[in-house]
Amino acid sequence: MRDSLIIKAAFSEATERPPVWMMRQAGRFMPQYWEIKNKYSFLEMCKTPEIAADVTMLPVDLLGIDAAILFSDILVTGEAMGGDLSFTQGIGPKFANPVRTQKDIDALQTNVGDKLQYVADAIKVIQQRLNGSIPLIGFAGAPFTVMSYLVEGGSSKDFKLTKLMMHNEPAMAHQLLSKIADVTADYLNMQIAAGVNAVQIFDSWAQALSWDDYTEFSHNYIAQIISKLNRKDIPVISFCKGSSVFAPLMAEAKPDVISIDWNVDLLDMKRRLPQGTAVQGNLDPHILYADKKVIKERIYRLFDRMKGENGFIFNLGHGIMPDIPFDNVKYAIDVIKEYTF
């Protein structure tokens, strides 16, 4: 795997073309995903290694991407710690027992590796199926994002309860974040031991935070996690919504790659980062709704801008939306693979 396009690019080595994978690539935009999803609940899919492997392999077989990403969810750590997690169609994730008091925080468990063993089992099945063809990316949710779901009890537009805890009860917020960070570091190391070839940390809601709050309640914990990872030959990718603002600070946590959203010029941002930090991104996913000639023009515009730069992985600035036409995604991958640096 060390010679694969993605791993070489992640370590800022030269590649003949930009490697490509896409966040949420094994998801709801594929009819084949729905054939599986209509038979099982989302958590059943995550917790059954063979099914998780089936879904992980869909974009490998149907799109020809350069890396697979483990099919799972960022909230499995919160569930393992004691959260009563469910997913409802059209509503999303819910924790029936939100974490809002000192007693709730004290009740959360941190020695939860056995409860997440199904993820390690899935990784082993997926690697058997990949058979060394392309790398497998593992992942986890960042502490602030997992905290926000635990405190709010689900998705939130304003993160009011989470921010109230941070601002009125900062000691409680730090205790909760510290517990999540410990679990997350152990969880990612478990994935590495099980055989993933790279890991990504997703801070999906970081853009809700001010600079100071991001520094105190997100960045410091991500830095702590990355410092604990067994990362020999395993690149670490750091992603957050808001990376066009936070990327220079994200780099201080020493990831190998920073995934950049679409609100910034990618080359300008790369030049603001420390030498040897790779970037991933940063096409606006809405481009994939457009006509094919527009998709090609926008991809080539990005690639022409990044030409000659080592350390560039093509991705979207965030995940694929569920109603993006499959043919457009496949076309984008084909366009990318035809391009030479």
Determine if the peptide bond prior to 282 is cis (ω within 30°): yes
Return the axis-axis angle of helices 326-338 and 292-306, rounded to nearest 10°: 40
Question: Phi/psi zone of residue 137: left (φ > 0), alpha (ψ -120 to 50 degrees), beta?
Answer: beta
Q: Is 258 helix (H, G, I), strand (E, B) or coil?
A: strand
What is the CB neighbour count within 10 angstroms for residue 44? 12
Residue type, 208: A
* Residues placed in the known binding site for substrate: 24-28, 73, 149, 204, 318
* Residues placed in the known binding site: 24-28, 73, 149, 204, 318
What is the CB neighbour count within 10 angstroms for residue 166? 23
| Encoded tokens for 104 | 């709730």
What is the number of residues in the chain?
341
Report whether 52 contacts 45 (CB < 8 A). Answer: yes
Report whether 80 contacts 146 (CB < 8 A). Answer: no
* Residue found under tokens 């992980």: 56
Residue type, 316: L
Q: Are strands 136-141 and 68-69 parallel, antiparallel or unpaired?
A: parallel
| Encoded tokens for 110 | 């941190």
